[in-house]
Amino acid sequence: MSDATPVELMTIAGSRLLRDGRVVFAGVGAPLEASVLAKRLHAPGLTIVLEGGSIGPRMLPGRLPVSTNEMRAAHHASMLTSINDLFLYGQRGHYDYGFIGAGQLDQYGNVNTSFIGDPDRPKVRLPGSGGANDIVSSCREVMIMTRHEPRRFVERVDFITSPGYLTGPEARRSAGLVRNRPVAVVTDLALLGFDEETGRLRLDALQPGVTQQQVQANTGFELLVSDAIDELAPPTQQELQELRRLRDGDPTDVPETRKVTSAP
């Protein structure tokens, strides 16, 4: 499927990381789309949770939410609760995956969504943490999804809104972040993991047709490289169709996973 857009490539690669029967705390946008796609295709027992208090929603195709707390994000949920409770289930350890986007991130997976430039005289004020800081501080396996551009992949973020490995695993541990860890960064060019010893980003797999050089050229720091770099399978027709139907599709179309829930 050579006509997949970069965002589609990234979203589909992200969806494949999510296993059936798990719970994913997804940010709005691409992480949510990846989660919904996974649930519709290979992980029908995946439970999606959204910041606004929505547990187990199913999205109406063509009516994806623009914010994680609106009615479209609550559609067909099994539980609608308070925001504090939604996060505290995570702090208790009930969420397998935390899946967020990133404005700017660095070689240790630290994410900045607060300030570009000096925080006291910022060049650009960004929207802020929202739930991102809480997600990376609590969900068992943290995954980040973002376009692969040099301005996003910087050596050192201007401000750590949401900590990755800080300056390495020991720094993360001694900061008190002992319950969970960042595991993957998914982009339109590659799938990256973290080196266990240094906590630095490592190139694990390439999107179809992308070269290692291209990835490095779009990264503002030196990437570690896995001993055996994989190439990700291209999006299947089913993945691409389903993703597009989700975004633009017929909202009256009842998904498979919903049909089978009608009788206990």
Partner 1 sequence: MTDATDKRMSLAEASALVRDGDTLVAGGCCYSRTPWAMLLELLRAERRDLTLARNLMCYESELFLASGAATKLVASWVGIGLKWGIPKVFREYVERDPAIYEEWSHLSFGLRLLAGSMGMPFLPTASMLGSDLLERTPAVEMRCPFTDQKLVAVPALVPDVALIHVQRADPAGNAQIDGPVYMDVEFARAAETVIVTAEEIVSPDEIVRTADRTAIPGFVVDAVVEVPFGSYPHECHGRYEADFDHFDAYAELVERDGVEGVQAYLRENVDGPGSFAGFLDKVGATRLLEQTRRARELVAA
Q: Does 228 bind partner 1 (CB under 8 A)?
A: no
Q: Which of 8, 51, 239, 242 is catalytic?
A: 51
Q: How far apart are CA 205 and CA 74, in angstroms?
A: 35
Q: How far is the CB of 106 from partner 1 (least distance, A)?
A: 12
Strand order in the sheet with 201-206: 79-80, 54-55, 47-50, 23-26, 97-101, 141-145, 181-186, 190-194, 201-206, 224-231
Q: Are 62 and 251 in contact (CB under 8 A)?
A: yes
If the CB atoms of residues 154 and 210 are measured against partner 1, the closer one turns out to be 154
Q: How far is the CB of 36 from partner 1 (least distance, A)?
A: 15
If the CB atoms of residues 131 and 204 are measured against partner 1, the closer one turns out to be 131
If the CB atoms of residues 234 and 249 are measured against partner 1, the closer one turns out to be 249
As a dihedral over the C-alpha atoms of residue 47, residue 52, residue 54, residue 55, rounded to 10 degrees, the angle is 40
Figure out which of the listed residues 1, 7, 122, 221 binds partner 1, where binding follows CB under 8 A. Answer: 122
Q: How far apart are CA 143 and CA 158, in angstroms?
A: 21
Pick the piece of the chain touching partner 1 (CB under 8 A) from 113-121, 184-192, 200-208, 232-240: 113-121
Q: How far apart are CA 36 and CA 26, in angstroms?
A: 10
Q: Are 143 and 194 in contact (CB under 8 A)?
A: no
* Residue 242 burial (CB count, 10 A): 19
Figure out which of the listed residues 5, 6, 124, 225 binds partner 1, where binding follows CB under 8 A. Answer: 124
Pick the piece of the chain touching partner 1 (CB under 8 A) from 5-13, 156-164, 191-199, 222-230: 156-164
Q: Does 98 bind partner 1 (CB under 8 A)?
A: no
Q: How far is the CB of 18 from partner 1 (least distance, A)?
A: 14
Pick the piece of the chain touching partner 1 (CB under 8 A) from 10-18, 158-166, 205-213, 216-224: 158-166
If the CB atoms of residues 89 and 221 are measured against partner 1, the closer one turns out to be 89
Site string for partner 1, 188-217 (x = CB under 8 A): ------------------------------
Q: Does 62 bind partner 1 (CB under 8 A)?
A: no
If the CB atoms of residues 67 and 211 are measured against partner 1, the closer one turns out to be 67
Q: How far apart are CA 33 and CA 14, in angstroms?
A: 9
If the CB atoms of residues 12 and 28 are measured against partner 1, the closer one turns out to be 28
Bridge partners for 153 per DSSP: 105
What are the residue ranges of helices labelled H in 188-232?
A: 212-217
Q: Does 130 bind partner 1 (CB under 8 A)?
A: yes
Q: What angle do CA 32, 96, 228 make, to 5 degrees?
A: 85
Figure out which of the listed residues 6, 92, 170, 230 binds partner 1, where binding follows CB under 8 A. Answer: 92
Q: Are 223 and 201 in contact (CB under 8 A)?
A: yes
Establish whether 51 is a catalytic residue.
yes
Q: So which residues are the catalytic ones? A: 51
